[in-house]
A and B are shown apart, each in its own frame.
Chain A
Amino acid sequence: MLINLSCGRYIKMMLNQSPPAIEAQSLSQSYGKTTVVREVSFQIAEGESVALLGPNGAGKTTLLDMIEGIATPSSGQVRLFGLGWASDAATLRQWMGVSLQSTAYLDHVTIGELASLFATLTHSTRQRAAQSLEQVGLASLSNRRFAALSGGEKQRFSLAMAVMHRPRLLLLDEPTTALDPNARHDIWALIQDLRRDGMTLLLTTHYMDDATTLSDRIILIDQGQLVADGTLASLLQHAALNGGVYIDTDENVGDMALPWRVIPHRNGWLLTPFDGQPIPSVQAVWEHLTGLSVTLHGVQRQQPTLDDVFRYMTGRALT
């Protein structure tokens, strides 16, 4: 099921006639007989922040590789700011910043030296390198080797290297994976700053809260296919998941004929109304199910999440 929902920035981009920051047209990637990404198309306007959300193995990183220009699509094409990788690679690399999941930078080298190297590589200055470390709170650790940093510090350093040359487009691959809650919030704050500065962001993640906190728009991807594209509100609205009631039961109510849509949720089920119907009350659900001799361990009002949208569209859990 493919939906493509418009957003404010996309409409603005079309009115301004400026080329999109990212334009993916029918991107596919196959390795032998295995198709990892299948006919994915989307556009991201300059200044927009978009999360590419999907479970592990959904094809997010492969898609990012193609956008980043290090993998050539089996079919389809990518254009960044109206330019293609075949003819304008040098310009695009200067306009792009990349922060990858768990990059181990050169060992036996201090982060200050690495920052100087990246300043040279990206035609930036040593002053900018120092400023970048300062910006992510690592200036005092510039004599420390990368391997000696904590997980959060490593990710902050990676982010600093990606934005040192003030790129127009920032690609973030799983920026908060394997970080503790404090480190995640530090990364969130840094990314929010970049959003405020108007940088175009595309981040891949399998965390729902990363997607909802850090992006204007969410692209859901599963098994190499785009399953939904829109804001959180529009995705919930499209799936008619404005609210529901969660029931905790050992019984399979999914096979029962109930007056609500039934979506597997955590260890139980989420009951949401069919189109146009009001959200059921806890009382009504309780009475209806006990009337059908269903043993209930708990019933509560539940705000649907991206995971519910994903389940609704793919039949599988996001995480």
Chain B
Amino acid sequence: MKVFWALTWLLTKRFFRQPAVLFWSLAFPITLSVVLGMAFSRPPAPVRIGIMAPPPFQSPDIEWVPTTPDQLSKHRVGGHFHVWVSQVTPSMQVGGDPSHGDTRLARLLLAQQTSPTPLPSVTVQSRPGGRYIDFLVPGMMALGIMNSSLWGIGYALIDMRNKKMLRRLVATPMPPATLLLAHFMVRLVVGVIESLLLLAITGWLFHLVVQGSIVALCMCFVSGTFAFSGFGVMIGSRTDSSVVGNGLINAVSLPMTICSGVFFTYRSFPNVVANVIEWLPLTVLADALRLGMTEPVGPGDVWVPCMILLAVGLVGHGLGLRWFKWH
């Protein structure tokens, strides 16, 4: 144990002495969350609709942007609007990309305003955990755990092998698994610090509140770190080339970063694809953290995803250790 703590302590100190690593591990996810949170937490802006005639009515939900047939292309390309009204009478002619959300919203607003009979009023009841920032922060925490483990363990092992440090360490009486355990512990500590900072800052700025039990979140945290440290050990098991390591880490992390519902819901993908994405480790972790943060759940509600992540970690560590090369 003495060897384990000595290694963990030194690796942790080393982490906090690297400004670039601190930026990417701590400052970047917090900055990104704050920027995206601010961008998507404002009251919804009115839908901008281009119009080639005098506006037929005024509505707080619509911002009319006067345009002409000659200027239409320029305005569309410039992002001034995504939908436009080319004719008001005798019937309203609307143009736009039918797949764009603004087009659908504009159509509904125009239909509502021009309906001969008044539509029934609809009241929207809000509840905690439903905002974009509530969706984003658990995703960013999951992303942080993944990146921290892949780079902090996978890349670190490759770098240590390349510099012959692994070979030097294995020549000491230290049990070889101690090094991997120390790396895992450092990632856990770093992940906790990163997440606490993220929660503190987004809680202060956006009044984000954790709804679920802390134990449930801790379970997700440990199992997620274990799963991705398994990936890290696999990636760092053989090669001593940082170029190969970079490629492997990006090959694993980029698809999940984009698809696994960190920044937007993966349910936007066709069902067949979404059903596959649902089982990716980052998706499992992000969904579990999101559940733990936005719903009043306990450990019993997250044990299934945690078991999945532990199983992924076991397979990753098992294969990684089987392939592992110390020199």
A interface residue numbers (CB < 8 A to B): 65, 68, 70-71, 90, 93-94, 96, 98, 100-109, 113-114, 116-118, 120-123, 161
Contact = CB atoms under 8 A, between A and B. Distances in A.
Contacts of A105: 163, 165, 168
Contact of B14 (A102, A108, A161): A108
Contacts of B14: 106-109
**Highest count of chain A CB atoms <10 Å: which of B6, B10, B173:** B173
Given A102-B164, A120-B2, A109 B13 contact: yes
6 contacts: A93-B171, A93-B173, A104-B163, A106-B160, A106-B165, A161-B168
A118 B2 CA distance: 12
Given A98-B168, A103-B163, A105-B165, 7 more contacts: A70-B171, A106-B10, A108-B17, A118-B172, A120-B6, A121-B172, A122-B173
B326 interface: yes
A104 B159 CA distance: 10
Nearest to A121: B172
Contacts of A161: 168
Contacts of B2: 120
B17 A100 contact: no
Contacts of A65: 327
Interface residues of B, number: 24
B327 A96 contact: no
Contacts of A118: 172
Nearest to A109: B14
* Of A90, A107, A161, most B-chain CB atoms within 10 Å: A107
Contact of B3 (A93, A102, A107, A121): A121
B271 interface: no
Contact of B174 (A71, A100, A121): A121
Nearest to A71: B327
Nearest to A119: B6
A101 B171 CA distance: 14
B165 to A, nearest CB: 6
A91 to B, nearest CB: 9
B173 A94 contact: yes
A2 to B, nearest CB: 28
A109 B302 CA distance: 39
Residue of B163, B167, B172 contacting most chain A CB atoms (<10 Å): B172
A70 B6 contact: no
B326 A70 contact: yes
A117 B10 CA distance: 8
A114 B17 CA distance: 15
B167 A70 contact: yes
Contacts of B3: 120-121
